[in-house]
A and B are shown apart, each in its own frame.
Chain A
Amino acid sequence: MTPDLMSQGAVRLEKHKRKQEAEVNSGGRVASFSRIHQPGELDLVHGRILYLEDVNVSFDGFKAINNLSLDIGVGELRCIIGPNGAGKTTMMDIITGKTKPDSGQVFFGSTINLLRHNEPEIAQMGIGRKFQKPTVFENLSVFENLELALKTGKGIKASVLFKLNGTQKDRLTEVLHTIHLENHLLRQAGNLSHGQKQWLEIGMLLMQDPKLLLLDEPVAGMTDQETERTAELFLSLKGKHSLMVVEHDMAFIRQIADVVTVLCDGSVLAQGSFDAVQVDERVIEVYLGR
C-alpha cells in the first residue's frame, strides 16, 4: 500500500461521507428508480426544495449577486442574515421571477427550472413571498384580501364565476385565527396597524398554501409581543412548509433558527447554527469591522 493509494482512499472516503451527510436531511425519502417524471410537478425526493447554483446578477456593473450557491431542504426554516446590500432582496427577486440572473441556475425541487417562469406562474407553483414593506390591498377588507390570495383558479373566467365553497371557508377561518385578525374581518386593510398588515400579508401567503415561503423582514415594525407570536407561527409552519426568512432582528433569529446563512457581497459568507455563525471571525468582521 503506497502513500499515494492511501491518500486516494482518504479522498474517496471523504467524498462518500460528504454524500451521506448531504442526504441526512431528505426527511426519510428514498430515491426510487424508474420514477415517472411529471412535468410541472414538484420533485422533492432529493430532499431539497430550492437550489441556487452559481447565480450572478449585476446592475449597471455592480455585482449584486456573485456566484451565489445555496440550497434549502424540505421543511427547513432557513434564516438569511447579512449587512445591507448583501443581495438578500435581490436573491428573493430572482427566486420569484422578478429579476432574471445573468448566469446560473435556480431550481424548485429537482425538476422545475424557475428561470423559465414568470412571477404569477412561480407563485402558483407554490412559492409565496412577503415583501419588505407590507403590501396588502389597502382598499379591500381583510376578508377580501385573504379571499383573493386563496389557492384556486386565477384566470378571468374562474374569477368571474368564483364562489367560496365550504373547504375554502374553513381554510379562511383557520388562517384568520392563525393571524389573529378574526375580529377585524370587515376592516379595510389600509386602516390596520403596521404589525397587523404584516400579519395580514403572512396570512395571504398561507392562503396560497405555498410549499416555500420567502419572508423579507417579517417582524419589522412589530411590537415585542407580536414578534413573539410570529416566531411561534413560523416554528409551527416549519416541517409542513419550507421557509426562508430574511431578518435583521437577531433576537428573533436566535429564537427560530436551525441554520443561518450569512450573505455578504452577493455570495454565501458562512453557514451553520446561530451560535457557530455568531463566533465566526469573518461574520464578525463584516458586521463590525467596517
Chain B
Amino acid sequence: MTNITLPQPVRLLSPWGWTLFIGLLLMVGVLVPVLNLYLPVAHPLHMSDFAVSLIGKIMCFAICALAMDLIWGYTGILSLGHGLFFALGGYAMGMYLMRQIGTDGNYTSELPDFMVFLDWKVLPWHWYFSDSFIATLLLVVLAPGLLALVFGYFAFRSRIKGVYFSIITQAMTFAFMLLFFRNETGFGGNNGFTDFKRILGTPIATPNMRMLLFVLTGACLLGCYLGARWLIQSKYGRVLQAIRDAESRVMFSGYSPLPYKLSIWVISAVMCGIAGALYVPQVGIINPSEMSPANSIEIAIWAAVGGRATLIGPIVGAFMVNGAKSWLTVVAPEYWLYVLGALFIAVTLYMPQGVVGLLVSLKQRLQAGKGESS
C-alpha cells in the first residue's frame, strides 16, 4: 500500500494574503483619513469628500454582495429579497437618528417631524427603545435576523427551492415596501427618515464623523470578509457547497440541511442589516424605495458580475458595477438601466464565473501552458 499525503487544512489567509489584508486595513484606517482630512484641498493627493462618501457607500454595498455570495454562490439559494434586510437595518438606525434630532426639528417637538405632521401625540410602541444606542445596535441585528429566521424556517422546512424561493423572497420585499409606504405603519411613509442632525450626541454632517463612518464601514467589510472566509473554509462551508451540488446526497450522508441553510440565511441577512445601518448615516436618508425589488436584484447582479462562489468576487463586483453606475449616471443618466440589463445578460451568457472567476481560469490556463512547454 503506497502512502498518500492527505491535503493539509487550508490556512485562513496565506502570509501574502495577511500582508494584503493588513495593508487594506491600514489604507482604510490611516491612509484615507490622512489624505482626506490632513492634506490641503489643493494638494494633488488630496482625496475629495465626494470620493470618501462614494467609496463608503460602495463598501456598504460590498458587504451586501458578500452576504449574497454566502447564500447564493455557496449554498445555491438565490434570494431576491436581500434589499429588505438591508433596509431593515437602515430603518433601525434611522429611528435612532430621528430621535437624536430631539427638539431641533421643524416643529421643535420631542416627536419626530412626520409624527407631528400626522398629528400623533405619543410615540408608537415600536419606537419606545429607539433613543438607546445599545438597543438600536441590537435591533439592527435582531430585526433582519428574526425575520430571516422565521421566514427561512418555514420556507426551508417545506423544502421550497430554486426559483420558487427567489420569487417568494421578491414578493416579501415588495410586500414590506408597500407596508412601509403607509403612514400608519409609523416609519415616515414614503418620505422615510431624513434630516438627521446627530449621532451619539455629536453632529453627523462633519468631515470627522464622515471619516469615522467610512473607517467603521471599511473595518466592517474586511471583518465580514474574514469571517466569511473562516466559515467557508471550515467543513461547514463545504457542507453548504454540498447542499448546492446535491442536497439529497447531503441528507443521505446524515446531515440535516435545514439548520445549515437556516444558519447561513440568517447570517447573510444580518450582514445585510449591518450594512444598511452603516449606510443610512452616510447618505442621510432612508425610505421604502430601498425595499424595491430592483434593489434586491442589483445585489444579485453585483455578486454575479464579480464572480459567485469566490469571496473576493462579489466585493470586486460591487465596486465595478457601482463605480460604473456613479460615472454613467452623470455622463448619460438615461442609459444606466440599459447598461445594467445588458451587463447582466452578458455576464450570464459569457462569464458565468464572473470577472474574478474569469481571471482565475485565465491564470490556471497560463500555468497549464507553462507546465506543458517546460
User: Do the two chains belong together in a single complex?
Assistant: yes
Name A residues whose Cβ lies closer than 8 Å to a Cβ of B: 96, 98, 118-120, 123-124, 128-129, 131, 135-141, 143-144, 147-149, 151, 154-156, 159-164, 169, 172-173, 176-177, 182, 185-186, 201, 204, 208
Task: Name the contact of B253 in the complex, choosing from A98, A118, A138, A148 (C-beta under 8 A).
Answer: A148
Complex contact A164–B6 (CB within 8 A): yes
Determine the residue in chain A with the shortest Cβ distance to B262. Answer: A156
Instruction: State the CA gap A123–B254 with chains docked (Å).
Output: 5
Name B residues whose Cβ lies closer than 8 Å to a Cβ of A: 1-4, 6-7, 9, 231, 234-236, 238-239, 241-242, 244-246, 248-256, 259-260, 263, 309
CB-CB < 8 A to A169: which residues of B? Answer: 6
CB-CB < 8 A to B238: which residues of A? Answer: 137, 140, 144, 147-148
Instruction: State the CA gap A139–B234 with chains docked (Å).
Output: 16
Task: Name the contact of B255 in the complex, choosing from A136, A138, A154 (C-beta under 8 A).
Answer: A154
Among A154, A182, A186, the one with the most B-chain Cβ atoms within 10 Å of its Cβ is A154
Task: Name the contact of A124 in the complex, choosing from B234, B236, B254 (C-beta under 8 A).
Answer: B254
Complex contact B245–A138 (CB within 8 A): yes
Complex contact A143–B254 (CB within 8 A): no
Instruction: State the CA gap A105–B4 with chains docked (Å).
Output: 46
Instruction: State the CA gap A141–B7 with chains docked (Å).
Output: 11
Complex contact A140–B241 (CB within 8 A): yes
Complex contact A129–B252 (CB within 8 A): yes
8 CB-based A-B contacts, threshold 8 Å: A123-B251, A136-B246, A136-B249, A139-B241, A139-B245, A148-B250, A156-B236, A160-B231
Determine the residue in chain A with the shortest Cβ distance to B6. Answer: A169
Complex contact B246–A123 (CB within 8 A): no
Instruction: State the CA gap A107–B218 with chains docked (Å).
Output: 57
Complex contact B4–A182 (CB within 8 A): yes
B317 CB to closest chain A CB, in angstroms?
A: 20
Complex contact B260–A156 (CB within 8 A): yes
Determine the residue in chain A with the shortest Cβ distance to B3. Answer: A173
CB-CB < 8 A to B235: which residues of A? Answer: 147-148, 159-160, 162
Complex contact B263–A156 (CB within 8 A): yes
B295 CB to closest chain A CB, in angstroms?
A: 30
B307 CB to closest chain A CB, in angstroms?
A: 14
Instruction: State the CA gap A50–B285 with chains docked (Å).
Output: 65
CB-CB < 8 A to A182: which residues of B? Answer: 2, 4
Complex contact A137–B254 (CB within 8 A): no
Complex contact B246–A138 (CB within 8 A): yes
B233 CB to closest chain A CB, in angstroms?
A: 10
Task: Name the contact of B241 in the complex, choosing from A123, A135, A137, A161 (C-beta under 8 A).
Answer: A137
CB-CB < 8 A to A143: which residues of B? Answer: 6-7
B47 CB to closest chain A CB, in angstroms?
A: 39
Complex contact A185–B4 (CB within 8 A): yes
Complex contact B252–A154 (CB within 8 A): no
CB-CB < 8 A to B241: which residues of A? Answer: 137, 139-140
Determine the residue in chain B with the shortest Cβ distance to A185. Answer: B4
Known: A128-B252, A155-B259, A162-B235. A137 touches B245 (CB 8 A): yes
CB-based closest 10 A-B pairs: A162-B235, A123-B254, A124-B254, A159-B236, A119-B251, A120-B256, A159-B235, A137-B242, A137-B245, A160-B236
CB-CB < 8 A to A138: which residues of B? Answer: 245-246
Known: A137-B241, A140-B238, A173-B6. A156 touches B259 (CB 8 A): yes
Among B242, B249, B259, the one with the most A-chain Cβ atoms within 10 Å of its Cβ is B249
Determine the residue in chain B with the shortest Cβ distance to A183. Answer: B4
Known: A154-B255, A177-B1. A159 touches B239 (CB 8 A): yes
Known: A148-B238, A156-B263. A208 touches B254 (CB 8 A): yes
CB-CB < 8 A to B3: which residues of A? Answer: 173
A192 CB to closest chain B CB, in angstroms?
A: 14
Determine the residue in chain A with the shortest Cβ distance to B7. Answer: A143
Among B234, B239, B251, the one with the most A-chain Cβ atoms within 10 Å of its Cβ is B251
CB-CB < 8 A to B250: which residues of A? Answer: 148
CB-CB < 8 A to A118: which residues of B? Answer: 256
CB-CB < 8 A to B255: which residues of A? Answer: 120, 148, 154
B153 CB to closest chain A CB, in angstroms?
A: 15
B243 CB to closest chain A CB, in angstroms?
A: 9
Instruction: State the CA gap A93–B98 with chains docked (Å).
Output: 57
Instruction: State the CA gap A147–B255 with chains docked (Å).
Output: 13
Instruction: State the CA gap A182–B2 with chains docked (Å).
Output: 9
Instruction: State the CA gap A120–B309 with chains docked (Å).
Output: 26
Instruction: State the CA gap A166–B253 with chains docked (Å).
Output: 21
Determine the residue in chain A with the shortest Cβ distance to B246. Answer: A135
Known: A123-B251, A159-B235, A162-B235. A140 touches B7 (CB 8 A): no
CB-CB < 8 A to B6: which residues of A? Answer: 143, 164, 169, 172-173, 185
CB-CB < 8 A to B245: which residues of A? Answer: 137-140
Complex contact A135–B249 (CB within 8 A): yes
A198 CB to closest chain B CB, in angstroms?
A: 13
A122 CB to closest chain B CB, in angstroms?
A: 8
Instruction: State the CA gap A156–B260 with chains docked (Å).
Output: 7
Determine the residue in chain B with the shortest Cβ distance to A169. Answer: B6
A184 CB to closest chain B CB, in angstroms?
A: 11
Instruction: State the CA gap A155–B234 with chains docked (Å).
Output: 13
